[in-house]
Structure 1
């Protein structure tokens, strides 16, 4: 068998195998609502969003001031940036994370959250 024929068989099999693998992986991801999230910032935010959120008395008082809303906090948890230089430290049997984001007026805010194994506590919200 000539080299060109062997190369054609090899490339045809490789193409067919790739199509089958992509089809099955795509169907698996769609059936489970899987998000591919491998970067540290994305993984931390996804973990925080997946747990029920409780509020500290300080955060409830700040939310009543009406310069920041709960939707702003949720947007920070979706699109914010985790400051790892001061985050991921042990705090009251959990880990504390500081997330930088913006409120609806475009003002920069920092949200601090304590991550436990079963819940997340919104500790504090600050203007930057």
Structure 2
């Protein structure tokens, strides 16, 4: 059997395997969150999120919307150098994101059952 035929058989079997995997994993909530940022954000978003009174003031004055806060908590970056993950009883994380070309820093207190958004800072570029 020639090399080109071997490559053809390999690619054919590989593509059939990918189609079968896509069929079985379609609709499943499988994710590959291996990085530290992704793991912590997934942990925060899997819990009930509670907003502090300061955050409700931002929302009531239409400075930022709760959906934007949720988006930053899903897609943001965690600043581990300023965070305190070993704080007792709940770890404190600073999540950075962007909204309307402004940098947003959200402070989240990540407890065992809940995640409380305690502070929000809007930094103009």
TM class by shorter chain equals 0.7 to 0.9
1:56-109, Cα deviation, whole Å (9 max, x unpaired): 334334433432221221121133221121225223422211111233x43222
Q: Does 1:55 align with 2:51?
A: yes
Partner of 2:74: 78
Structure 1-normalised TM-score?
0.74
Q: 1:61 and 1:101 mapped to 2: Cα distance?
A: 19
**Residue number among 3, 6, 23 corresponding to 1:7 in the alignment:** 3
Query: Which residue in the other structure is 1:27 paired with?
Result: 23
Partner residue in 1 for 2:89: 93
SS of residue matched to 1:120: strand
The Cα shift of 1:24 comes to 2.6
SS of aligned partner of 2:26: helix
Structure 2 residue 120 is the aligned partner of structure 1 residue 125:
yes
**CA RMSD in angstroms, aligned pairs only:** 2.5
Name stretches of at least 5 consecutive residues in structure 1 with no aligned partner: none
In the alignment, the residues of structure 2 paired with residue 102 and residue 9 of structure 1 have an alpha-carbon distance, to the nearest angstrom, of: 51
SS at structure 2 position matched to 1:89: coil
Deviation at 1:8, TM superposition (A): 4.8
Larger radius of gyration: 1
Q: Work out the CA distance in 2 between the residues paired with 1:36 and 1:93.
A: 28
CA distance in 2, matches of 1:82, 1:123: 15
The DSSP-based 3-state class of the residue aligned with 2:20 is: helix
| Shift in alpha-carbon separation, 1:87–1:94, aligned structure 2, 3 A | same
- Alpha-carbon offset, residue 40 of structure 1: 2.7
